Structure 1
Amino acid sequence: MKIDNNKQPGKTRSLFLLKTLNHAVLCAVATLGTAQAAPYVEGGRAGDPNSWRSAEFNAEWGLGAINAQQAYAAGYTGKGVKLGIFDQPVYAAHPEFSGTNKVVTLVTSGIREYTDPYIPVKAGDPFRYDGSPTVGSDGKLGSHGTHVGGIAAGSRDGSPMHGVAFDAQIISADNGDPGPEDGIILGNDGAVYKAGWDALIASGARIINNSWGIGITDRFDQGGRDPAFPHFTVQDAQLQFDQIQPLLGTRPGGAYEGAIAAARSGIVTIFAAGNDYNLNNPDAIAGLAYFVPDIAPNWLTVAALQVNPDTSSPDPYTISTFSSRCGYTASFCVSAPGTRVYSAVIGGTGADDLTVGYGNKSGTSMAAPHVAGSVAVLMERFPYMTGAQVASVLRTTATDMGTPGVDSLYGWGMINLGKAIDGPSMLVTEQDIPVELRVDGAYGSGQFVADLPGVGAIVDAGKPTQRVCSGLQCGLDVWRNDIAGHGGLTKEGIGTLVLTGDNTYSGPTLVNEGRLAINGSLASAVTVNDGGVVGGNGRIASLIANQGGNVAPGNSIGTLQVAGDVTFQPGSAYAVEVSPTASDLIIAGGKATVDGATVALSLENSPTLLAASGVNNLLGRQLDILQAAGGIEGRFSEVLPNYAFLGGNLAYSASGVQLTVARNAASFSSLGLTPNQRSVASAAEQLGAGNALYETLLLSSSTAVAQQAFQQLSGEIHPAVGTLLINHSRYLRDAVGDRLRQDALYDANTPTDADSNLWVKALGAWGKSDGGHDNANSNSSIGGLLIGGDGLISEGTRLGFVTGYSDSSLSMGDGTHSSAEVDSYHLGAYLGHEIDALRLSVGGAYSWHRIDVKRELQWAEVSGREKTKRDARTGQVFTEAAYRLDLQPMVLEPFANLAYVHLDSDSFHEKGDSAALHGGDDRRDALLSTLGVRASHSLALSRTQQLQLSGSLGWQHNLSNTRSEQDLAFAGSTDTFAVQSVSMDRNAAVIGARAGLAVARDVRVNLDYNGVLGARDKSHGVGLTLDWQF
C-alpha cells in the first residue's frame, strides 16, 4: 500500500484518501482559536431522535443516512469505548477532538523492513511515530487519518461536524505509509505495521479502523468500469494471498500477521473495500477473512455509498461510482456513506504553516469509519456482547440493497444504527449465505451466546479489553427485532434477556443460566437447563425443562403458549405465581409430559394491599396452571415451598392441571417471637378473610417476613410515649431542686442576696432503653428552656414559680420503624425552707403535651404509613428533705425525696390504611423515692471569685407499677390486644455533677450533669443555668 496524490482516471492511488476528490475544501479554522465560543449546550433529548439533528449533525450527511439519531435518542453515543484508527495520525490538537484524552496517540518505533520508492526511507532505517503530522509524497501534511477520525468519533460540541460515536475515545496509531496502493505485497512495511498492530492490541481498543489496503495492479484500471475489460476477481485476490501466506510469522509479513492477531484477539477489525470501481473485488487485505476464515466473525469489509442521483428511484442511496464491490467478502461486508463526507482536515507543508479546518473527501476510506463509529455505539448499547456479536448485529440489521439478501455488490446492505440498537435480526449459519458467497468455517457454531453477566461483572478478564459491565443492559436487556436465520440462541449469565419480536430462527434455544423471557413469538424449540429460567407471555415451538431448569410464565403472572409438546424432566420446576384472581399458565398445543418435577408456588409481588377497600381471598380458589390439548402424562412430585400460612394442592384432568391454594395449620400467633408479636398476630387473624391486613399477612412468603410484619404492626410506640413523658418529668423537678440547693439562698442578711431572683436553665438529655428479647429498643432525647423566679417570703423561706417549653423525641428500633415527637409546655411552683442545717422543699407542676406519632410499615413488598396526633397531660408533686454536714473542706448532704407523677393521655385513631390502630385513654401513676448523698467543695479562683463543685449519688426506687402497657385495636375492629413497651426500672442509680461560677456580682452560671442508670433505661442530661439576682 502506497499513496500517490496523482488522480489518474480509473486508478486507485490513495492509501488513506482512497480516491479523495480534488475538491476537498479546507475551511479556514485559524479563527477558531481567536474567538471565545459560548459553552456548548446539548439540545438532543432522550426519546426524541429529531432533536439530535442539529446543524453539526446535518453537516455530515452520513449520520442521518445510517439513522444515528435514533441511537443518540436512546442514550448511546459510544461512551466508554476505545476506537482504534490505524492510519496517518489523527491530529489530536484539531478542535474537532477537544476534550480530555479524546485522542490517545500511540508511540511506535523500530527498524524498517522495506525500502520505499515513494518516500526517502529504506530497509534498516530506524522509525519512530509519535502522532506528529508527516509530509507525504505530494509534499503536503497527511490529513487522511484526521478526516477518518472525525467521521468515526469527532466530538459533538457545536463545532462544524461530529462523528458517529462522538463520545468514544480515539486510539491513534501511525502506519507510517503514505502510499500509493500499488499492489505490492511487501509495500506494507512489516516492521512499521506490526509495531502499530501490537500497540493497538495492547491499548485496549475494541475496534480498529483500517482505511488502507494493498491495492490492485494497473491492468485492472479499466476493468473497474467496463465489463469488457479484465477486472479483479476472487482468483486474483487468491494470488495476492498466496504471496502473503509465506510471509505470515515473519517480519516482512507484519502488516498481515498483525491484522490476523487483532481479529483473533476479539477486536472488530474493519477494512475499506477499496476504490477500484464496482466491477472489481476487494484486495486480499480487505478480504483477508475469506482466506483465514476463523477471523471472519470479527472482520468487516466496507463498500461506499452515495446519494442516488436518480431522484425517481425508490432507493435513496446507491453504491459510490468509485467503490469496489463487496464481491467475495460479501458475507462479512457492509456498505456505508463514503461520497463527499465532511470532516476534520489539516493543511500545510510542515509544522510552521499547519492549518486546521474541515473538508469533503470521498472514498471507502470515509465509509469504513462510519462502520467503526457504529460498532462503538453498539458496544455501548450491548456492553455484554463480544466484538464478533456486535459485528453480527450490525451486519444482520443492515438495510438490504440490491439483490434481496446478501449480495456481491452491497454485502449485507447499508448499516442502520436505528435498527441495530434493537438487537440482531438474524442468527447466522452458512445456510443463510448464498452458496456462491459462502466461506467455509467463517460462521462459527451457529449459536449466538447471549451472556448477560449482571451489572458490575468483569468482562474480558485478563485481556487488554478488560472492563466492568456497568450498563443496566448487563442485567436486563430487551431485543425488539424480528430474528430470522438458521442459527440458534444460547442464554448464559445471571441477567435477563427479553425477546419481543416475531422470531423465526430455526436453531435451538438453550437457556443455561439466568432468565429468557419470550414476549413475542419463537419458532425455535426451547430447552431450559440447570440454572436457567424461561418465561414471558409469548409463544414458543416446544419446551423441555431439564434437571435444575425452571419454567416461570409471564413477567409477573402470565401465560406462556407452546405450539407443540411440553416436557418437565425429573428435578425441573414449574414456578407458578398466583394472586387472588389469577395464576401463571402454560397452554400447550401438544402433549404435556411431567416426570416428577415440582411445582414451586410463589405469590405475586403486587403493590401493598393495606390500602385496598376490598380484597379477594386467595384460599380455596382452583387455578388452571397447565393445559395440554394432547393430554397430560405423569404427575408433579410436590408443591413447594410452603409459605408461612399457605400451601397448595394439585388436581389433574385429562388435559389439565389445577392448583388450589389452601391454608396450612400454622396460626398467625404461632409464628410470633415475642408477646407483642403473638398478641398483634392473634388480633390480625381475627380480622378474617377479605380484610386487607389479614390478606396481606396471609401472603407472607416466610416465617421471617411474618415476624417482621408483626413487629411493625404492634404499635409498641404508643405505650412507650407514655413512659417517656413520665421519665422526662424529672427534668423540671431536678431543675427546681438544683435551684433550691444554692448556697445562702435563704439568708436575708447575705450581702450578695436580694429579695428576689430570676433564673434560666437550658436543658438537653438523651437516653436509651434496652428492650431485651421481648420489646423494641428505643432512643430518646429532650431539649428545652425553663425560666424561674423566686424570692424570700420570710426568714429561711423561699417561694418561686417556673415555666418553660421542651421538645422530646422517641425513636423505636428493632425493625418497628416508628417515632414520636412531643411538644410540652410547663408551669409549676415551689417552696423551700431552711432551719439551720436542715432544708425542706416541696413543689408541683403541670405539663401539657402535644404528641405526634408516625409508624412506617415496610416489609417484603408491603408499605404503609400510619400517623396520629393526640394530647396528654402530666401532673406531679415532689418533696425533699436534706441535712447539711459541714466537714471542711467538704460539705456532705444526705437527702431523701419523693415524687408522684400522674399521666393522662387522650384516646387516638391513627390515619392510614387497614393497619392503622386506635386506642383509649392512657392513665398511669408513678411514685418514685430517692435516697442519696451530695458532696460539695469550693475552690478559690481569686480573692473575690470561687468555683463551686458538687456531686451526688443516689438510689431511686419505683414504688408503683412499672409495666408500660396499652390496649390497642386495628381500624374497623373492636377486638383489642395488649401491647407492652419497655417497663420502667424498679431500681436505678441516680448520679449528678455540678459546677457553678459567679461571673458578676449579680450573675451566676451553673453547668450540671445528671444521669439515671437502670437495668433497662439509661438517660444522661446536661443543663446550663443562668441565675440573675436583682
Structure 2
Amino acid sequence: MKPQILQKTALALLVGWYAANAAAYSEQGQAGNTKSWESAEYLKDWGLTSMNASTAYALGFNGSGVKIGVMDSGVLLNHPEFQDGRIHVVKTEGAYSKDGVRYPDAKFGFGGLNKEQPFDSNGKRNFDKNNDGNFVKGETFSIDGGWHKGINDAHGTHVGGTMAASRNGEGMHGVAFGANLYSANTGGTDNMTYGPNQDYEFFLQGYSQLAANGAKVINNSWGSNRRVNSAFAGAKGYSTDSASNYQWKEITEYGVAMMDIANITETTNEKDVMYLKDRGEAAKAYYQFATQREKSFLDAAYEVAKEKGLVQVFTAGNRSLMAESFTRASLPYFRPDAEKYWVNVTGQRGGDGYPNDETPTNKWWSKYYDYASGSYGAASSDIQIYNYAGDAKWWTIAAPATNIYSAYVHIMNEDDYGAVNNDNYGSPIYKSSGGTSMAAPHVSGALGVILSRYPYMSADQARDVMLTTARQTTLRKGLEGKPLERWETEQGVPSNVWGWGILDLGKAMFGPGQFLGNVNINLNQNDVWSNDISDKAIKARQVEDQAEAATWTTRKAELQALMQNRAGATAEEKAEYQVGLAREAARNERAAQGYVGALTKNGAGTLTLTGNNSFTGAITVNEGQLSGLNQSLGSAQQVIVKQGATLEVLPKAEITKPSENGFVTETLTSTAKTVTATVEKGGRFLLNNGIANVNATFADGSILVPNKFDEEILPQLQQDPQKVVSVQGSGSFVGAENAVVEIPRTYDFLTVKNESNANTLKVTVQKKALASAATTENEATIANTLDAATNSPAYQNLVLGTEENARQAFARLSYDEDLAAQQHNVLNGLLLRQQLAQPGAVRAQLNTGTQIWTSGTFTHFSTDSLSSHAYNQLVGIDATIDTNKHLGVFVGSTQNSHKIDRTSKDRAVHLGLTAEHRFNVLTPKIGFIQSWGKHEQRAEFAQGVKSHSQTQNVFAELAYTGLKGEHFAIEPYAGVSYMHIKNKGVTKGEVQLKDNNRDLIVTSVGLRPSIPFAIGGVQLNLLGDVAYHRFHKDKAAEGSLVINNQGVANLYGKELKNVVTTGVALQAQFTPVLSMKVGYQGAYNHDTKANNVNAELRFSF
C-alpha cells in the first residue's frame, strides 16, 4: 500500500488553493494539523466543530474544484464573505406553466415583502398579507441569484454563507470555503411554501441553470412548512404559537430536560402547521401533489436530479415531535427512483462551545435543565430537533440547526447593528439563525468537500459516503461514545428520529462506512479507504421490505379491485397504487441484488481497503488494482479478479491521518480472517511475502506477480548472487501451480519459477550467471568476475538488465583490442629485428669501414577487426672492428595507430646494440633492443588513460655463409630471441588494470638469398629473406582487470604460435660511400597479416 496518498493529495490541494488567495489572506492552517485550522473564524460556527471539519481541511479538502448550487432567496453579492470570485449567480428566465401563488398563507402574515414599505416603523420585516405572490400562466419571469431589495429576505445569504463563505479572516467561513457556489433565486422570501402551488417551469429553469453550470449538489432550504390552509383536504394541524404548547421534555439518555413542544393537540385551524403524525398523513400530503394535473417544483427538482445525476438536499421541516418529514424531503418514499439523488436534513442542537455549550436561561422556549447539577443552562448538544426522519430515514442525516452564525442582510432591527432605515437596508451583516434551513447548508457544503475528496465519485456516491459515515454516538462530556438520545435501532441502522445520525465530515474523508448495495467505483487514481465498511443497513432494510411486501400484497389486491369496479378508485387511491407499484419495483431490485454490500472496482487506479470490514457481497475487480488487509477483504463472499485487473492481499498497511499535532501514521497488521478469491484468465494476484489465510482459485492463464520485486527481491540478489529468494504465502489454492509468473520487466539474468502447491503460493527468483550472455572466453571471464563483484555498480546494474545490457557491459570492459594491439607491437618488433639482419656475403662486400645509416618503415597490421599502422624510424652506426668483427648501435622511435571504431596511438623509443663475428663460413650475430612505450588504452572503461611499458629484446643468430658464387649467394640462418615485456597498470573508476609481465621466446629459421649485379656502373643487390618463426612461453598477451576490488578477470588475447616472414629489397651503391635500399616485408599466420615498405640510407666513411 502507498501510505501517504491522502497526505500528498492534501499538500497539493493546499498549495494550489492558498497560492491563489495569498494576496488577500494568509492561511495559518497546516497540512495534517487539525488544531491549526480551528481559527476564530472557524469557531464562529459550532457546526464545523460538530462535523469534524478541521480533519478535512488538514487533509487539504475544502470543496476546491467542485461546484455546488443553492436555490433560495438570493445571495448578497457585496457581502465580505463573497468577494473572492467563487460566488456566481444564474439567471432564471422563462414563462410560468400555470396560474399560482408563492405565498398561499399570506393572509396569516406569511406573504411577500411589502414592496412599498419592506420594513415597518419598528424596523421589522413588513410582510404584506395581501401579497400572495401570484403569477399567471404564460407570464414571463427573469431573475438572477443575487439578493434583490424588496423581493428577497436574508435567508439565502445566510444559507449561502454556511455553504461556502470565504475563509478570509473575517466573520465566519463556510463548510466548503474552496468550492464555487452558484445561486438561483426563488423570486421571493422564506415564506414561500413547499406546496403544489409553486410553479414547475420556474423551478425547472432555476434548477436547470444550476445544473448547466456544473452544480453537483443543490441546497433547498428555501420556503416554509405548509399550513392547514394550503394542505390537503381534511388535514389536521397543531399550534406552536403559545407557551401552552411547550413543556419540559426529558432527555433521559443525557440526564437533562429541555423546554420544547411536548404535547400536541390536533386542530383544524387554517393557520396552524400541517401535522404529519404518521405515514398515512404523510402519504395524503404527497397525494396532493400526485393528483393535480399540473407539475410542481417537486417534479422540477426530481427531473433535473435524475437527468443530471446531481443531489437535491431538502429540509425535513421545523416541527418538533412530527413523526414524518415534509413532502419535499420524503419524496423518495413515494418515488423510490429519486432516493439516490435525495438528502433529507433534520436538526441537531448545539451552540458555542460545542459539545459543552451553555444554553441561555433567560428564554423560556430554549431552557435546559441538568438533573445532575440541579441547575439550568445544561448543554443542548446532540439533541435532535424538528421533524423526525420517519420513513425518510434511509436518506436522512442530522446537521447543526441552532444558533448558526453566518452572513446576513440588514433588513430588520438587529442587536449590534442599529435600527434599519433606507440607508442601511440591504447592507451586509452577520447573524445567528436556527432551523433545518441552517442544517441543510452544512450538509450541502459537506457534500462539496466530499466531492473534492473523491473526484472519481458521482454525486450520489458522495452522498452515500456522507450518510454511511454519520455519527450515531454523542460527544457530550461524560457520555462520549454513547448512542444518541432516542436512538431506537442498533448502531449502523438508520433511526426513525435521526436518520443516519449526525454529519461527520472528518470521518467521510476515509471512505464509505457502509455499502448500500453494489458500489461501482471508477477509480483512475490511487486511494485508501480506511473506514470499517459494513452492510448492516441494507440487511436491516430487507426485514422492513419483507414486512412491507406482506402488507402490500393485501392492499394491492384491494386497490386493483377498486380500479376494476365501474365506480373506480379515487384519485388518491390511484396515486397510492402507483406509489405501491414503484415501491414494489424498488424492493424487487434490492431483492435481486441480494441485500448485500458489494464492490465493483473499475478504472486504472489502485484502491486500498484497510478497515475491519464486514460487508458480505462479492468484490469484483474489473480494472486496476484492489489491495486490502485480510480483515478488509475477508468478509466479502469472494473477490473476483477479471482479466487485466489485480488483487493484492496485504500483510500490513500504514494509515496516515491528521491530528492536533500533525500527521500520525499507524501500522495495521492483517488478522487471521480468510480471504476467498477467484483469479480469472488474465487476472493478476500480487503476492506479498508472508500473507496467510487466503483461499484462491486460479484459472488457466491467470497471473501470479511477486510484489516489491525491485524494492525487496532484487537487493537480496544483488548482495548475494547465489541466494534463492522466495516470496510466498499460505492458504488453500486451486490451480496456483499453473499460474503464469509475471515480473515488472524482462530480466535475462534471473530465473523466476512458480513453485506453488495446494497450500502455498510461492515464487522463487534466482540469479543466472552473467556468463550465459558471453560469446567469447574473455567475456565469460569478465562475466564471472562481475558475478563475484557484488558491490560493483556495474554488477548492480546488470542484475536488472538484459543480455544486451550485459554485452554492452562486456564491451565496456573488453580488453581484446588492447591485447591484439600488443600482439601487433610484438610483430612490429620482430620485423624490425629482421630488417637489422643482412646477408653476410653481400655485407662483406659493402663493409668498407664505419657506416652511418637511417631507415624508415611503414607497416599495416590486421587481426580480425583491428587495424594498425606502424611507422618506425631508426638511426644507427655500424663499425668494423676488424675484417671479421662488426659492432652496431642504433636509436629510433615507433608510432602505432590502432583503429576499429576509433583510433588510439602507441609511441615507443628504442635503443639497440648489434654485433657479429664471421668465422670462415659461419657468422654468429647477437643483439639487444631496449624499448620504452606509452600507450593509449583502447578499452572503453579506460578511455583517455595512458599506460607505460618496457621491453627488453635479446636475440642471437647463426648464419651459414658458405653458399655463394660470383652472381648468387644464399645464407641459411637460425635464430632465437627472448623478449621481456612489462606493462604498467592503470585505474579508472571501479576498474583496475594490473601490472603485467610477459616473457616471450621466438625461435626462427630462414634463408636470405642475394643476387649482386650492376647496371650502368651502379652496383646493385637484390636481397631476399624468408623465415619461419615459432613462439614459446607467453604466446598470448594478457591483461588482469580488478573490478571494485572484489574480482579479478585474467584476460588473454589470441596466441602467437607461429608466423612466416618474407622480405625483398633492392640495394644500390651509388658511390663507394653511399648506398640506398628499398624493400618490402610481410608477416603472415592464420589470423594476422602485416605488410610494410621500408627504405634505408647508408653512408660509409
TM-score range, shorter chain: 0.5 to 0.7
How has the CA–CA distance of structure 1 residues 713 and 59 changed in structure 2, closer, same or farther, with 3 Å as cutoff? farther
Deviations 1:361-393 (A, max 9, x none): 111111000001100100011111111111111
How has the CA–CA distance of structure 1 residues 698 and 315 changed in structure 2, closer, same or farther, with 3 Å as cutoff? farther
The aligned runs of 1:65-464 (5 Å cut-off) are 65-100=50-85, 102-112=86-96, 113=98, 114-116=100-102, 118=111, 119=131, 121-123=134-136, 124-135=138-149, 142-182=153-193, 184-186=195-197, 188-213=198-223, 215-218=225-228, 219-222=236-239, 225-230=261-266, 231-232=275-276, 233-246=278-291, 250=294, 252-307=295-350, 309=368, 317-319=381-383, 321=385, 323-348=386-411, 353-400=425-472, 401=484, 402-403=486-487, 404=489, 405-428=493-516, 446-452=517-523, 454=524
Q: Distance in 1 between matches of 2:321 and 2:615?
A: 33
Instruction: Say whether the 8 Å CA contact 1:63–1:164 is kept in structure 2.
Output: yes
The aligned runs of 1:966-981 (5 Å cut-off) are 969-973=1042-1046, 975-976=1048-1049
How has the CA–CA distance of structure 1 residues 295 and 177 changed in structure 2, closer, same or farther, with 3 Å as cutoff? same
Match among 642, 647, 658 for residue 534 of structure 1 = 647
Counterpart of 1:373, as a letter, is G
Q: CA deviation at 1:567?
A: 5.4
Instruction: Say whether the 8 Å CA contact 1:479–1:497 is kept in structure 2.
Output: no
Counterpart of 1:106, as a letter, is V
Q: CA deviation at 1:352?
A: 7.7
Q: Distance in 1 between matches of 2:753 and 2:140?
A: 82
Higher normalized helix content (fraction of residues) = 2
Instruction: Say whether the 8 Å CA contact 1:909–1:918 is kept in structure 2.
Output: yes
Q: Distance in 2 between matches of 1:614 and 1:125?
A: 82
How has the CA–CA distance of structure 1 residues 568 and 357 changed in structure 2, closer, same or farther, with 3 Å as cutoff? closer
Q: Distance in 1 between matches of 2:611 and 2:684?
A: 27
Deviations 1:141-160 (A, max 9, x none): 52111111110110101111
Instruction: Say whether the 8 Å CA contact 1:488–1:509 is kept in structure 2.
Output: yes
Deviations 1:654-711 (A, max 9, x none): 74465554566xx535547x99xx977852433436824599659846xx64534764
Instruction: Say whether the 8 Å CA contact 1:871–1:905 is kept in structure 2.
Output: no
How has the CA–CA distance of structure 1 residues 59 and 872 changed in structure 2, closer, same or farther, with 3 Å as cutoff? farther
Q: Distance in 2 between matches of 1:297 and 1:974?
A: 70
Which residue of structure 1 aligns with residue 888 of structure 2? Answer: none
Instruction: Say whether the 8 Å CA contact 1:150–1:343 is kept in structure 2.
Output: yes
How has the CA–CA distance of structure 1 residues 339 and 657 changed in structure 2, closer, same or farther, with 3 Å as cutoff? closer
Structure 2 segments unaligned to the other structure (5+ residues):
1-21, 104-110, 112-130, 229-235, 246-260, 267-274, 351-356, 358-367, 373-377, 412-420, 473-483, 537-595, 654-666, 818-864, 867-936, 949-982, 997-1037, 1054-1101
Which residue of structure 2 aligns with residue 789 of structure 1? Answer: none
Work out whether 1:636 is the aligned partner of 2:738: yes
Q: CA deviation at 1:93?
A: 1.8
Q: CA deviation at 1:719?
A: 14
TM-score by length of 1: 0.56
How has the CA–CA distance of structure 1 residues 713 and 171 changed in structure 2, closer, same or farther, with 3 Å as cutoff? farther
Instruction: Say whether the 8 Å CA contact 1:78–1:168 is kept in structure 2.
Output: yes
How has the CA–CA distance of structure 1 residues 648 and 262 changed in structure 2, closer, same or farther, with 3 Å as cutoff? closer
2:391 alignment partner, SS class: helix
1:259 alignment partner, SS class: helix
Q: CA deviation at 1:507?
A: 1.5
Counterpart of 2:337, as a letter, is D
Which residue of structure 2 aligns with residue 509 of structure 1? Answer: 619
Deviations 1:124-164 (A, max 9, x none): 54321124423457xxx521111111101101011111000
How has the CA–CA distance of structure 1 residues 135 and 196 changed in structure 2, closer, same or farther, with 3 Å as cutoff? same
How has the CA–CA distance of structure 1 residues 568 and 215 changed in structure 2, closer, same or farther, with 3 Å as cutoff? closer
Q: Distance in 2 between matches of 1:351 and 1:189?
A: 34
Counterpart of 2:148, as a letter, is T
How has the CA–CA distance of structure 1 residues 696 and 602 changed in structure 2, closer, same or farther, with 3 Å as cutoff? farther
How has the CA–CA distance of structure 1 residues 66 and 656 changed in structure 2, closer, same or farther, with 3 Å as cutoff? closer
Q: Distance in 1 between matches of 2:758 and 2:102?
A: 83
Counterpart of 2:389, as a letter, is C
Q: Distance in 2 between matches of 1:88 and 1:254?
A: 15
Instruction: Say whether the 8 Å CA contact 1:234–1:281 is kept in structure 2.
Output: yes
Larger radius of gyration: 2
Instruction: Say whether the 8 Å CA contact 2:64–2:452 is kept in structure 1.
Output: yes
How has the CA–CA distance of structure 1 residues 216 and 626 changed in structure 2, closer, same or farther, with 3 Å as cutoff? same
Which residue of structure 2 aligns with residue 442 of structure 1? Answer: none
Deviations 1:282-304 (A, max 9, x none): 22112112211111112111012
Instruction: Say whether the 8 Å CA contact 2:323–2:387 is kept in structure 1.
Output: yes
Which residue of structure 2 aligns with residue 523 of structure 1? Answer: 635
2:312 alignment partner, SS class: strand
Which residue of structure 2 aligns with residue 498 of structure 1? Answer: 608
Counterpart of 2:201, as a letter, is A
Q: CA deviation at 1:238?
A: 1.9
Q: CA deviation at 1:42?
A: 0.6
Instruction: Say whether the 8 Å CA contact 1:214–1:285 is kept in structure 2.
Output: no
Counterpart of 2:635, as a letter, is A
Counterpart of 2:504, as a letter, is N
Q: CA deviation at 1:273?
A: 1.2
Instruction: Say whether the 8 Å CA contact 2:42–2:173 is kept in structure 1.
Output: yes
Q: CA deviation at 1:239?
A: 2.0
2:349 alignment partner, SS class: strand
TM-score by length of 2: 0.53
2:47 alignment partner, SS class: helix
Instruction: Say whether the 8 Å CA contact 2:154–2:408 is kept in structure 1.
Output: yes
Instruction: Say whether the 8 Å CA contact 1:520–1:539 is kept in structure 2.
Output: no
Q: CA deviation at 1:210?
A: 0.4
2:184 alignment partner, SS class: strand
How has the CA–CA distance of structure 1 residues 79 and 906 changed in structure 2, closer, same or farther, with 3 Å as cutoff? farther
Instruction: Say whether the 8 Å CA contact 1:320–1:338 is kept in structure 2.
Output: no
Work out whether 1:481 is the aligned partner of 2:481: no
Q: CA deviation at 1:479?
A: 3.3
2:448 alignment partner, SS class: helix
Which residue of structure 1 aligns with residue 720 of structure 2? Answer: 616
Structure 1 segments unaligned to the other structure (5+ residues):
1-36, 429-445, 455-473, 541-555, 578-582, 721-773, 776-850, 856-867, 875-903, 911-915, 923-964, 981-1030
2:647 alignment partner, SS class: strand
The aligned runs of 1:847-886 (5 Å cut-off) are none
Instruction: Say whether the 8 Å CA contact 2:521–2:602 is kept in structure 1.
Output: yes
Q: Distance in 2 between matches of 1:286 and 1:74?
A: 32
Q: Tell me how many residue pairs correspond in the alignment.
A: 654
Q: Distance in 1 between matches of 2:263 and 2:626?
A: 51
Which residue of structure 2 aligns with residue 42 of structure 1? Answer: 27
